[in-house]
Structure 1
């Protein structure tokens, strides 16, 4: 009996070239998990992720599914994979799901976090999990900018997509900032995010907060719809996929 099995996965992306399997490298999250599942089942396994995360990006709650005839129960699967996976990839949950469940196509929303180390002296411990930005930031102004980004908009100007026929309209439901000492925690919740969209929005917000650009440029980016109007793409190591909603 062919089963459809859902995995909830946590990983530290620092050592990896991203989620998606690459033929010439074993340094991908998908590749590592498929290798262990193949050992476990004796089958050729292809896992479907909720979306690709870039090299260096982390996840608290990536979701994937795969089809298998294995007779092992969820508890046995989770014990096997976590025994043989590298320690920076952990399967947190294993569930049997209906045959039609698809980790990518059934996702209705995602939550991301981005962390900024806002201090002139770097941090030894947070260096793989945050982006150091030494300039002073006007948090009130950045919160005002966040409000402009919330809602339904065409985010093509905040994306690294080349031309696409698919819709680039997305809805951001929440975009908030919390300060935890020197660490700034940005939370993004929305129905979906375009290629590098969170990292480009972050770059734009940091330029607004540090006085490099005016808050009105957000309206300009929505109007012009071109990537070059927006801020720098911040590095991937500050980005976490927290949760996928179904």
Structure 2
């Protein structure tokens, strides 16, 4: 039986999602917990979207082919027994054998939470990005508009990106504020490695008045990573999860969604 899981995690202590030889990734911890609960040597998972070191996940979706039969709520509670406190399976559901966590996704959603304050964060350390210079909303919205639609995002792509094509379709960028906290929401068919963090660097440069909004269009069209702003910190970046066809019945939210500002 093929099973899909919704997984939430705080990425601060991990070297990203994807398994690495050192075993200090979210995937490594999840697969060890699944195998321990199922009492089998290994269980391999595939995820909807790989996250970088320090990036968090609210509804990461993975699938695996279960080697044993268990009730769905047992996959949740039993696996969580063997996971650290900063990773938790939120739900488990059976899916068709043709389901693929990555390839079946119609789009992917991220949010970046940013603190604007003259003083660095303390209790939010690792959970928010930080700027000490004031930001202006309207210039950032104008800059973001230049990135909507289908474009070659080479200028916002990390050198080590393994994507076959730099062309992606960015469906939306929404920017809002509550008190000193900003929230930037992104949805696209797929994202390149460091794409959001590189976009954030450019939007912040515009919001602080260091660059005009139309500069972002010039960066986009140049297809040259060297002329864009530096990659912004991973701390405030959250993978909200993928979007699938409604008939699959997979949850799009977890309780942690209500914790984020806005």
User: Does the Cα contact within 8 Å between 2:12 and 2:235 map onto a contact in 1?
Assistant: yes
**Corresponding position of 1:154:** 152
Q: Per-residue deviation at 1:231? A: 1.0
Flag structure 1 segments of 5+ consecutive residues without an equivalent. none
Q: Per-residue deviation at 1:216? A: 2.0
1:28 and 2:46 aligned: no
Structure 1 residues 162, 31: CA separation in 2 closer, same or farther (over 3 Å shift)?
A: closer
30-39 vs 100-109, which deviates more?
A: 100-109
Equivalenced residue count is: 243
Q: Tell me how far apart the structure 2 counterparts of residues 174 and 163 of structure 1 sit (CA, whole Å).
A: 22
**Corresponding position of 1:236:** 234
**Corresponding position of 1:106:** 104
**Corresponding position of 1:84:** 82
**Corresponding position of 1:5:** 3
Flag structure 2 segments of 5+ consecutive residues without an equivalent. 245-262
Q: Tell me how far apart the structure 2 counterparts of residues 86 and 165 of structure 1 sit (CA, whole Å).
A: 31
Tell me which stretches of 4 or more aligned residues in structure 1 moved more than 6 Å. Answer: none
User: Does the Cα contact within 8 Å between 1:108 and 1:245 map onto a contact in 2?
Assistant: yes
Quote the RMSD (CA, aligned, Å).
Answer: 1.4
Q: Tell me how far apart the structure 2 counterparts of residues 77 and 167 of structure 1 sit (CA, whole Å).
A: 36
Q: Per-residue deviation at 1:165? A: 7.8
**Corresponding position of 1:62:** 60
Q: Tell me how far apart the structure 1 counterparts of residues 227 and 216 of structure 2 sit (CA, whole Å).
A: 9
Q: Tell me how far apart the structure 2 counterparts of residues 70 and 164 of structure 1 sit (CA, whole Å).
A: 34
1:126 and 2:136 aligned: no
**Corresponding position of 1:193:** 191
Q: Per-residue deviation at 1:10? A: 0.5
Provide Cα deviations, 1:47-99, integer angstroms capped at 9, x if missing partner: 11112100100011101011122111101111101122111101011011111
Q: TM-score, normalised by structure 2?
A: 0.89
Structure 1 residues 65, 164: CA separation in 2 closer, same or farther (over 3 Å shift)?
A: closer
